[in-house]
Amino acid sequence: MSEPTHVTRDGRRIVVAASVERAGRLLAARRTRPAALAGGWELPGGKVEPGEDPSAALVRELREELAVDAVVVGRVAGPLHGDWPLDDGHVLRVLRVHLAPDSEPAPGIAHDVVRWLSPDELGDVAWLEPDVVPARAAAGRLPTWVDFPSGAVAGEGRVLRVDRLDADRVGVVVDRTPFHPLDHGWPDQPGDAGTLDGARVHDCLTGTVDDDGQLLVGGAVDVRRGDPSRTWVVVHLLDAAEAPVPGALVALAVDGVARSALSRGHSACHLAALALNQTTARFWSKEPSRRDSRGFPFLDQIAIQVSRITPDGAYDAYRCGRSLRKAGFDAEAFLAERDDVARDAEQLLAGWLATGATSVVDTGGDPTLTSRRTWRCDVPGGPAVIPCGGTHVPDLGQLPRIRVEYLPTDEGFEQLTHVG
Ligand SMILES: [Zn+2]
């Protein structure tokens, strides 16, 4: 006979509850019954039935109570073999849940109101007693809110954890930060430096937290960006001697001069990529697999190997192999005329810069680190739109001039972009 699924090994009945996360917020639901609980807020869920898998039970409960399609992506581990204490006969198992994109919770009979709480709104509702601590832990598993897409360089955050990384350094995670971290998968823009409550932040990296609470940082992150089984966090690197206390509210200040230089480099990099697409369009003999937002063959995206943003510049390496030739791009002809193409690109760029057009990063309303963000700038001839996780200038008036250079390499070519 298989083991019962609705009780723990020590015979306690399992109640499942959902930490429903969306765009950095946690779902709270207000109970209508029984009378003793009415008006109290909870993480929605219910009892696991005999023979039922706890995850399946939670998906069922969420469909019955809130009419949503849910996917279990992990758990919020508690102190009782991963569960949370309720009473002698029951434990609470809190599972991390994502909803289908168009699924909106609609309270039925058991609840009358739901709210999406940001980490600092957690105390705004009266949680039922057994849910107070698990809800706080669930909020601690929300991804870091980031303010750098708007250009912010200062802010406040609550310290969620401090991890010793080596003999000298600690990694500090806060609930909200203006710092831009290096991306672990596409490390184009360096992490910000600055200060945290006056202590030097030497670097800033991307990290993940798993269901066991383990923090992986930078190159040690072993999953793809946004993997829902992990919590995605910004990790600020400080001297161990200056580590803040978990729970403290700290002031965060990015080195604004360095950030501005990287933002100029990043915007110039994207503009140069679109200018490259346009000025090399005549070297394509077939319909390309992708076109950019302005309608030109997307050579930049099709052939890019490496991109590095530097202060007031960028380095991009492109591969021109057999597959690119087969796709219809004549790299030899382009490289033979590369100086003329560079001159055309610079002229095009100068025309764009002269408009002083605004440049924005659209987060789609998701303030978290791994939201799908898009950089947009309305230049003549069609908007410049590129998916981007970095920082940018607020308008093209910040860029006096952009120079580009194309250099042949064994693999293909590299593009050097300079601002000024
Ligand atoms: Zn970018």
Q: What is the pLDDT of residues 224-247, one digit of tens each?
A: 999 999 999 999 999 999 999 999
Say how many Å lie between the CA of residue 276 and the centre of ligand 1.
15
Ligand 1 centre distance from Cα of residue 351 (Å): 21
pLDDT of residue 88: 85
Ligand 1 centroid, distance to 308 Cα (angstroms): 10
Encode pLDDT of 17-65 as tens digits.
Answer: 999 999 999 999 999 999 999 999 999 999 999 999 999 999 999 999 9
Residue 79 Cα to ligand 1 middle (Å): 42
Mean pLDDT of 392-418: 98
How far apart are the CA of 252 and the centre of ligand 1, in A? 23
Output the CA 227–ligand 1 centroid distance in Å: 20
Residue 253 has pLDDT above 80, yes or no: yes
**Is the pLDDT reported for residue 211 higher than 70?**
yes
| Residue 180 CA, ligand 1 centroid: distance in Å | 12
pLDDT of residue 9: 87
Residue 266 confidence (pLDDT) above 60: yes
- How confident is the model over 313-360, as pLDDT tens digits? 999 999 999 999 999 999 999 999 999 999 999 999 999 999 999 999
Has residue 5 got a pLDDT over 90? Answer: no
Q: Mean per-residue pLDDT for 190-216?
A: 97
Q: Give the pTM.
A: 0.95
Written in H, E and C, the secondary structure of the chain is CCCCCCECCCCCEEEEEEEEEECCEEEEEEECCCCCCCCCEECCEEECCCCCCHHHHHHHHHHHHHCCCEEEEEECCECECEEEEEECCEEEEEEEEEECCCCCCCCCCCEEEEEEECHHHHHHCCECHHHHHHHHHHHHCCCCEECHHHCCCEEEEEEEEEEECCCCEEEEEECEECCCCECCCCCCCCCCCEEECCEEECEEEEEEECCCCCEEEHHHCCCCCCCCCCEEEEEEEEEHHHCCCCCCEEEEEECHHHHHHHHHHHHHHHHHHHHHHHHCHHHECCCCCCECCCCCECHHHHHEEEEEEECCEEEEEEECCHHHHHHCECHHHHHHCHHHHHHHHHHHHHHHHHHCCEEEEECCCCCECCCCCEEEECCCCCCEEEECCCCCCCEHHHCCCEEEEEEECCCEEEEEEEEC
275 CA from centroid of ligand 1 (Å): 15
- Stretch 132-138: mean pLDDT, rounded? 97
- pLDDT per residue over 167-180, tens digit each? 999 999 999 999 99
Residue 150 confidence (pLDDT) above 50: yes
Predicted pLDDT of residue 4: 75
CA of 322 to the centre of ligand 1 (A): 27
pLDDT tens-digit series, residues 275-299: 999 999 999 999 999 999 999 999 9
Residue 2 has pLDDT above 70, yes or no: no
CA of 264 to the centre of ligand 1 (A): 11
- Given a cut of 50, whether residue 1 has pLDDT beyond it is no
Q: What is the pLDDT of residue 381?
A: 94
